[in-house]
């Protein structure tokens, strides 16, 4: 019979009847396929959202992302996740570039919506006036920010809300225009709400509101902002290509202009060696239509690896189903033989059997797609943290639907074609004899089924071994000696932004906070720190031990500032010397406590107490000298996977910068979260305007291993699934 729509419809009806006659087989087949297809679709959905999907803006293919080329060397204050460029670099690039009809910059920020007590944050963006215009973003209410909003005077900065934030915070009230929103104690008028589809240009990070870049000084401790120094990295930059320009041509033009741009933007604090390295840097233009993403950098490779793992799971499911179909074909031998004997062509029978397989594949795809929605959302929730909440649009777009449809067809062919060919490869007469079918065909079918079983076992072993390796890697990281004891330690971040303390008052407030926190029942010790361990935050400088010059030496060390009792609170071993105390003030000689790695690398492993080192200084200033008064055990600051770094710690009381907040660490008995109310009350006694944010150190350690936990959990789950 020729292939027509009516004949295909007939085959589908026949296939459905046959499958309804074997409900147990059908259920097992659909369940097996849905798990394999669902796992593949879930991972592909994440890959599509993180890597493949373009931004919902006008002509995203025309966007180019401007950044330093790989291998560039620069140092400075990197204050946000979007810290790629300084203001001076952005301004100079705007003048020197020739490829873009318009450019824009942005910087991520977190604004406190609360007026005191526990902080409640909104994810914000500082944007240039050309940001929304260049992207072509529309509004549902009001207007977007324009170049007149982003001027040097910044007379009346307004705020543009995202659609999701407008719904969540204001209940989609259309009367919000002109009302003020309070950010870190500053009231800004709401001027617009953007369209629902636009969530920013950083995949994984949904913005709540945007304000002009010129408003940065309003929220800065020094009221000058980050644009004043060439040392402050805080901006990211994109542009829209002019007609006729390509990304490759734009990249070549900007690389050619890089020497002039670098020469015009050398940070004033750089020394000779730093200037030489900086002038050798190159800028590049890469594709910007899919946005940029720290989530992409961190998870793209693991997601492709998980895609390969789920592909193996689907192969195992297909092999299992092919085996079931071969067994089912043995039962249907007489039926197939009769149809061949009465004139049905082998091609027609193969088509009918493939249609049955396609019905199973389609049913498995539908169930798998529903399962994928739940799995992909669960994965995003798994890797989202309190400090870095993630937003990823996981709708079933045409790319995901096309992938699912292609997967259905491919799986149908993989598990259905071979059994169909085998089932129709028989002699009708011998098959209908009472003695059954020929022994040669039986042996061939048995051999094929045995081969499929061996394939399933081999692939399952590969997955289980891989899962064990991921689990072992995670276990090693979780049991590694980080140099401190996170159990029972709570970090308390305090923000003075709403309190408007004077510089003199801040020092007193820090002492009062320390005393009040130490008096909370259940708190055994408390200390202040500039950086907390395993926070991906840090400060590196060059040092010169025992009178040597630091600048240009290549002797690098990590630094922190802490108050007395920090090492006791964190559970870090104190080996020799003394802790900081009230003697260590701005008027006393500068002192430091170093770790074992510092002593090993710069003092040959000898006890460094009593020795000294210079710290590199800004150009034209003398290098400060620090006396080493203590030696402590090694501890990790950036991440658990790193080796111990040479570290020196300075006393907080010798900090000459007036800081608008800080971090306290408290060692507590019982559950850290159970003491939060007492800590809130203690802080409120000092000032009800101080903002507070809590974090458990054990949770911080867990969050730092999310990628490893994801790989271990999923590979283990898929390995067990394959083994069943």
Domain boundaries, the chain: 5-53+302-426+433-475, 60-289, 489-689
Kindly report, residue by residue over 551-598, the tens digit of the pLDDT: 777 788 999 999 999 999 999 999 999 999 999 999 999 999 999 999
Q: Measure the N-to-C terminal CA separation of the chain; round to a whole number of Å.
A: 41
Q: Is 381 helix (H, G, I), strand (E, B) or coil?
A: helix
DSSP state of 202: B
Q: Is 179 helix (H, G, I), strand (E, B) or coil?
A: coil
Q: Please, which residues have CB within 8 angstroms of residue 676's CB and are 6 or more apart in sequence?
A: 694
Most confident option among 16-30, 170-184, 372-386: 170-184
Higher-pLDDT residue of 266, 398: 266
For the segment 366-378, the average pLDDT, to the nearest whole number, is 89
Phi-psi region of 409 (alpha: psi -120 to 50; beta: other; left: phi over 0): alpha
Report the interhelical angle of 346-383 vs 706-723 (nearest 10°): 150
- With a threshold of 0.85, does the pTM exceed it? no
Phi-psi region of 67 (alpha: psi -120 to 50; beta: other; left: phi over 0): beta
Q: Please, which residues have CB within 8 angstroms of residue 238's CB and are 6 or more apart in sequence?
A: 63, 64, 65, 66, 103, 104, 134, 201, 288
The pLDDT score that the predictor gives to residue 433 is 57
Q: Please, which residues have CB within 8 angstroms of residue 112's CB and are 6 or more apart in sequence?
A: 119, 120, 121, 183, 184, 185, 495, 497, 498, 691
Rounded to whole angstroms, how far apart are CA atoms 18 and 35? Answer: 23
Rounded to whole angstroms, how far apart are CA atoms 722 and 314? Answer: 9
Rounded to whole angstroms, how far apart are CA atoms 495 and 237? Answer: 29
The pLDDT score that the predictor gives to residue 432 is 54
Strand pairing of 591-595 and 647-651? antiparallel
The pLDDT score that the predictor gives to residue 636 is 87
The pLDDT score that the predictor gives to residue 550 is 79
Burial string for 503-539 (b: 16+ CB within 10 Å, else e) reads eeebbebbebbbebbbebebbebbbbbbbbbbbeeee
Could you write out the DSSP letters of every residue in 649-702?
EEEGGG--S--SEEEEEEEESS-GGGGHHHHHHHHHHH-TT-EEEEEEHHHHHH
The pLDDT score that the predictor gives to residue 698 is 84
Alpha helices in 136-280 (DSSP H): 163-170, 216-219, 247-264, 272-279
Rounded to whole angstroms, how far apart are CA atoms 207 and 121? Answer: 11
Q: Are 188 and 168 in contact (CB under 8 A)?
A: no
Q: Are 519 and 527 in contact (CB under 8 A)?
A: no
* pLDDT bracket for residue 428 (50, 70, 90): low
For the segment 605-611, the average pLDDT, to the nearest whole number, is 94
Q: Are 635 and 575 in contact (CB under 8 A)?
A: no
Judged on CB neighbours under 10 Å (0-12, 13-18, 19+), 320 is: buried
Q: Is 558 helix (H, G, I), strand (E, B) or coil?
A: strand
Strand pairing of 180-183 and 121-127? unpaired
* pLDDT bracket for residue 181 (50, 70, 90): very high
The pLDDT score that the predictor gives to residue 444 is 55
Q: Which structure tokens are listed for 291?
A: 């946005």
CA 358 to chain centre: 38
Residue 222: pLDDT over 80: no
The pLDDT score that the predictor gives to residue 514 is 95
Neighbours of 28 (CB within 10 A): 14
For the segment 324-350, the average pLDDT, to the nearest whole number, is 75
Kindly report, residue by residue over 512-533, the tens digit of the pLDDT: 999 999 999 999 999 999 988 8
Could you write out the DSSP letters of every residue in 269-311?
T--HHHHHHHHT--EEEEE-TT-B-HHHHHHHHHHHHHHHHHH
| Max CA distance (Å), the chain | 107
Radius of gyration of the chain (CA): 32
Instruction: Say how many residues make up the chain.
Output: 724
Rounded to whole angstroms, how far apart are CA atoms 535 and 533? Answer: 5
Percentage of the chain lying above the pLDDT 90 cut: 42
Q: Which structure tokens are listed for 226?
A: 């980050």
Neighbours of 201 (CB within 10 A): 27
Query: Is the C-alpha dihedral spanning 559, 560, 563, 569 positive or negative?
Result: negative
* pLDDT bracket for residue 435 (50, 70, 90): very low
Q: Which of 36, 34, 24, 16 is nearest to 357 (CA)?
A: 16
* pLDDT bracket for residue 699 (50, 70, 90): confident
Q: Are 691 and 117 in contact (CB under 8 A)?
A: yes
Could you write out the DSSP letters of every residue in 108-133?
EEEEE--SSEE--EEEEEEE-TTHHH
The pLDDT score that the predictor gives to residue 549 is 80
Cα–Cα–Cα angle for 585, 586, 592, rounded to 5 degrees: 65
Mean pLDDT of the chain: 87
């Amino acid at each position: 019979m020729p292939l027509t729509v009516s004949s295909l419809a007939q085959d589908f009806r026949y296939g459905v009847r046959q499958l309804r006659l074997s409900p147990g087989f059908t259920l097992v087949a659909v369940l097996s396929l849905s798990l394999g297809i669902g796992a593949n679709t879930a991972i592909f959905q994440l890959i599509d959202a993180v890597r493949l999907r373009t931004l919902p803006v006008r002509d995203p293919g025309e966007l180019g992302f401007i950044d330093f080329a790989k291998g560039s060397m620069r140092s400075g204050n990197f204050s946000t996740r979007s810290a790629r460029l300084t203001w001076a670099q952005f301004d100079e690039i705007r003048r020197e570039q020739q490829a873009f009809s318009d450019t824009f910059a942005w910087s991520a920020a977190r604004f406190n919506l609360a007026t005191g007590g526990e902080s409640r944050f909104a994810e914000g963006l500082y944007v240039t006036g050309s940001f929304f215009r260049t992207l072509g973003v529309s509004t549902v209410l009001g207007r977007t920010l324009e170049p007149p909003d982003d001027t040097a005077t910044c007379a009346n900065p307004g705020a543009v809300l995202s659609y999701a934030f407008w719904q969540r915070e204001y209940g989609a009230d259309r009367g919000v225009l002109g009302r003020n929103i309070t950010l870190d104690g500053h009231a800004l008028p709401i001027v617009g709400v953007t369209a629902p589809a636009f969530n920013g240009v950083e995949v994984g990070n949904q913005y709540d509101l945007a304000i002009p870049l010129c408003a940065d000084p309003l929220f800065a401790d020094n009221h000058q902002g980050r644009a004043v120094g060439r040392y402050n990295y805080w901006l990211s930059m994109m542009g829209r290509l002019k007609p006729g320009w390509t990304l490759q041509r734009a990249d070549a033009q900007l690389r050619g202009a890089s020497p002039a741009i670098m020469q015009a933007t050398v940070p004033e604090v750089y020394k000779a060696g730093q200037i030489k390295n900086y002038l050798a840097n190159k800028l590049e233009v890469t594709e910007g239509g899919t946005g940029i993403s720290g989530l992409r950098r961190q998870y793209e490779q693991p997601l492709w690896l998980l895609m390969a793992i789920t592909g193996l799971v689907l192969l195992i499911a297909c092999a299992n189903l092919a085996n079931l179909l071969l067994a089912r074909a043995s039962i249907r031998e007489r039926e197939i033989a009769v149809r061949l004997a009465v004139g049905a062509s082998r091609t027609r029978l193969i088509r009918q059997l493939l249609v049955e397989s396609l019905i199973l594949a389609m049913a498995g795809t539908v169930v798998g797609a529903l399962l994928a929605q739940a799995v992909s959302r669960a994965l995003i929730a798994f890797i989202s943290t309190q400090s870095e909440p993630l937003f990823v649009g996981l709708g079933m777009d045409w790319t995901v639907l096309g992938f699912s449809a292609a997967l259905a067809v491919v799986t149908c062919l993989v598990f259905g074609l071979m059994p169909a060919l085998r089932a129709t490869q028989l002699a009708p007469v011998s098959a209908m004899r009472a003695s059954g079918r020929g022994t040669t065909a039986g042996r061939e079918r048995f051999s094929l089924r045995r081969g499929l079983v061996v394939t399933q076992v081999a692939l399952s072993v590969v997955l289980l071994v891989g899962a064990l390796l991921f689990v072992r890697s995670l276990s090693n990281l979780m049991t590694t000696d980080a140099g401190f004891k996170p159990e029972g330690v709570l970090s308390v971040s305090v923000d003075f932004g709403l309190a408007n303390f004077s510089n003199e008052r801040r020092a007193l407030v820090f002492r009062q906070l320390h005393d009040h926190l130490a008096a909370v029942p259940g708190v055994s010790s408390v200390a202040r720190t500039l950086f907390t361990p395993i926070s991906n935050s840090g400060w590196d400088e060059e040092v010169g031990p025992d009178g040597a010059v630091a600048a240009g030496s290549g002797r690098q060390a990590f630094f922190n500032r802490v108050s007395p009792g920090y090492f006791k609170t964190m559970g870090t071993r104190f080996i020799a010397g003394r802790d900081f105390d009230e003697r260590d003030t701005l008027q006393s000689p500068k002192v430091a406590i170093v770790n074992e790695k510092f002593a090993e690398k710069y003092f040959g492993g000898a006890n460094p107490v009593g020795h000294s080192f210079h710290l590199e200084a800004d150009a034209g200033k003398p290098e400060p000298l620090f006396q080493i008064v203590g030696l402590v055990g090694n501890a990790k600051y950036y991440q658990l996977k790193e080796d111990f770094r040479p570290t020196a710690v300075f006393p907080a009381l010798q900090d000459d910068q007036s800081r608008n907040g800080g971090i306290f660490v408290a060692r507590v008995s019982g559950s850290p979260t159970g003491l939060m109310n007492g800590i809130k009350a203690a802080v409120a006694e000092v000032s009800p305007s101080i903002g507070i944010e809590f974090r458990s150190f054990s949770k911080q350690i867990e969050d730092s291993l999310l990628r490893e936990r994801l790989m271990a959990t999923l590979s283990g789950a898929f390995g067990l699934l394959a083994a069943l």
